[in-house]
Chain A
């Protein structure tokens, strides 16, 4: 596949070129210092050099609120909401968010392939951009380098003077047709960036660490600081738990069934009639969340379900860091190994 230089001055034309093909979604500024993915109306407003967006592009495939069913109460008739494929070009996606989408694909296609999600996922084109990690990104620790091209059709590697545009798939090369302000790039694509935040264990080891960490006191310690607001789940690009509620319209004749993103950190998440709550202790909820990111799903799917985006940490008002939690588990695990090893050495003596 080919690669091209794309100078900073040409980026706008490139976006306009894309806009002629399909609806383009890209990062825009929001409020004081945040970014969000939005449909591009004016190429000038796109910001490709961003830290991270508030929500990931998950919101296009699994909207945070979604009507599932509409019904008529008078005659019990009901109809499903038509789900349309998004059919967009997603421009400027970071590798961890792309990886998160691939994980959601897994969750929604395994067992019962869910029509709502999967239909929206049809026929989209993804154009990645590399990013400069801030204090909270740690995706390299879960094998997601800023230049990881898996899942993308085109990839824009950021350089000093603009971008090196890499064609990743045939769809990607087709997309370039008709855009000729390019010079060919010959050489190695950049492939690493410096991260400030790391998990101190390779992936293979993490799985062992989590086998030993169920009763670690850290869950209880974190629970003292945690307010249980659910932000960490709701900001996470790989979380997809949801709740469903029915609403009746003011006419009293019709209504709708709506699903809404939910969070396993909320006490009500496991509450059943009669008031029993299966994970009443905050510590148990924290453990469940972190295990879901690093063990429960990963054991069968083969990869951590955390993509190292740092959202849950940066948005946590209590300042709880998933990196610190995991590293604490790792160091406790190491200490235990040392004790066990020295016990074994002692036994040999």
Chain B
């Protein structure tokens, strides 16, 4: 039998929900461990090693210390995988990028603001090459496992490039716009199986935008449904402050 790939797990600025989600794979954890060796994972174990085949990295880069560590991890690993919104596009952390960082720090620490250095919250890919990404806040178990099995089967993983609305239709959900909610599904990248609308809640856009989104049209929808321009832009920014791509009309 082939030797198992050596896997390490790291976290940067984020809520560690994606990491926790892995410990939540109760039904599959033992199956996974049949195929991989977890060699480093600060949140769950003491060991540290010099090199690994696959590094799963959660969180965004937001301090000088983070920058150093992510370069170091990239140097030690063959494959680097960004887990969750923070690592993939900066996630919610990136909301702060819209304000001056000094202001932000002052809001929080007042006079002591210089004690704690901060940088704009950016995805891993702003600093190093990222091989694969698992979107979502938090990422879903299904997609993580699909990615892992793809890689283990030697197959390049593919991720959805269409909107959450698609999955809503496939699941025959009632659209939440019909009950006065304002949903980000139309331009949010699918993959979660339209989780929130399936539970009667609107999509907040946690998986980032589809490639080439029509942002102007989306903002229009938000305004047509009762948000002010200011609120519409805020809603767009919740998870997408770093997303720059636009559609070809």
Contact = CB atoms under 8 A, between A and B. Distances in A.
Chains A and B touch (C-beta atoms under 8 A apart)? yes
28 contacts: A31-B174, A32-B174, A34-B178, A64-B169, A64-B172, A223-B214, A227-B187, A227-B217, A228-B213, A228-B247, A229-B163, A230-B166, A230-B169, A231-B165, A231-B166, A231-B186, A234-B170, A247-B149, A248-B155, A250-B149, A261-B170, A263-B162, A266-B163, A271-B161, A317-B186, A318-B186, A318-B217, A319-B224
Contact of A33 (B161, B173, B178): B178
A30 B218 contact: no
B177 to A, nearest CB: 5
Interface in A114-143: none
B69 interface: no
A6 interface: no
Interface residues of A, number: 46
Nearest to B214: A227
Contacts of A263: 162, 166
Contacts of B224: 319
Given A31-B200, A65-B170, A229-B185, A73 B153 contact: yes
B145 interface: yes
Contact of B179 (A33, A64, A230): A33
Contacts, number: 129
A315 B175 contact: yes
A281 B249 contact: yes
A247 B174 contact: no
A266 B165 CA distance: 11
B162 A266 contact: yes
Contact of A247 (B146, B177, B179): B146
B145 A250 contact: yes
Contact of A227 (B146, B163, B200): B163
Interface residues of B toward A: which range?
35 or more
Given A31-B174, A230-B169, 4 more contacts: A33-B178, A234-B166, A280-B248, A317-B183
A19 to B, nearest CB: 23
A304 to B, nearest CB: 22
Nearest to B163: A229
B216 interface: yes
A239 to B, nearest CB: 10
A251 interface: yes
Nearest to A38: B172
Interface string B212-246: 11101110110010000000000000000000000
A267 interface: yes
Contacts of B171: 64
B165 A230 contact: yes
B211 A229 contact: no
B7 to A, nearest CB: 15
Q: Which of B28, B172, B212, B224 has the most CB of A within 10 A?
A: B172
Contacts of A34: 174, 178
A220 B247 CA distance: 13
A33 B174 contact: yes
Given A234-B170, A245-B158, A250-B31, A229 B187 contact: yes
